[in-house]
């Protein structure tokens, strides 16, 4: 059995360090988009916990929103909730704060602590799937584990 790519291995090590037994899987096909991930895994798109990084305009800090693969994030609603404008995070910003590339950003194991919001829609499923540090790497978890791992706040993202 060949080892995980370095970035996926970092996620696996973080899971173990936090006391979780979830296993990072590398799939033969890309999981860069929620649809690609669902197709590769064989689950519903809504079970994909997609990690999207925004740049908070005033503080220039990252915000991670982990959303159901079918949901579009209502940026105005989130900005109102935070009382701060959301900006797009480019690839360099994402890598600087998380240590991962867009398309593979996991919900945990970032270079810095990142404020995290979790889509309440994920709680309709017993199991969900999240990116694991590489565009072909994922891991299965429960919505409750996602909250515990990230210390994220559950919100409506729509």
Does the pLDDT at position 1 exceed 80?
no
pLDDT score at 2:
62
pLDDT score at 50:
96
- Both tokens assigned to 26: 């590398």
Does the pLDDT at position 69 exceed 80?
yes
Q: What is the dihedral of CA 47, 63, 90, 40, to 10 degrees?
A: -10
Q: What is the pLDDT of residues 99-136, one digit of tens each?
A: 999 989 999 999 999 999 999 999 999 999 999 999 99
Quick one: residue 91, left, alpha or beta (phi over 0 = left, psi -120 to 50 = alpha)?
A: alpha
Does the pLDDT at position 148 exceed 70?
yes
Query: Which residue bears the tokens 């503080």?
Result: 59
pTM of the model: 0.95
Does the pLDDT at position 84 exceed 50?
yes
128 close to 141: Cβ distance less than 8 angstroms = yes
Residue, of 28 and 155, whose pLDDT is higher? 155
Q: What is the pLDDT of residues 6-49, one digit of tens each?
A: 999 999 999 999 999 999 999 988 888 899 999 999 999 999 99
Q: Could you give the C-alpha distances from 29 to 2, 75, 79, in angstroms and in order? A: 16, 30, 35
Enumerate the H helices of 65-142 as residue ranges.
75-82, 91-98
Mean pLDDT score, 58-76: 97
Mean pLDDT score, 63-83: 97
């Amino acid at each position: 059995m060949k080892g995980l790519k370095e970035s996926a291995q970092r996620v696996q090590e973080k899971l173990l360090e936090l006391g979780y037994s979830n296993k990072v899987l590398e799939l033969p096909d890309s999981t860069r988009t929620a649809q690609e991930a669902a197709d590769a895994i064989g689950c519903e798109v809504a079970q994909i916990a997609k990690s999207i990084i925004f740049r908070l305009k005033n503080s220039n800090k990252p915000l991670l929103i982990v959303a159901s693969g079918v949901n579009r994030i209502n940026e105005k609603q989130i900005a109102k909730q935070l009382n701060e404008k959301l900006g797009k995070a480019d690839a360099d910003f994402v890598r600087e704060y998380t240590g991962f590339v867009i398309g593979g950003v996991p919900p945990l194991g970032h270079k810095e602590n990142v404020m995290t919001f979790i889509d309440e829609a994920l709680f309709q499923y017993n199991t969900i799937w999240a990116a694991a540090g590489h565009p072909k790497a994922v891991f299965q978890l429960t919505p409750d584990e996602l909250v515990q791992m990230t210390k994220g706040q559950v919100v409506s993202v729509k």
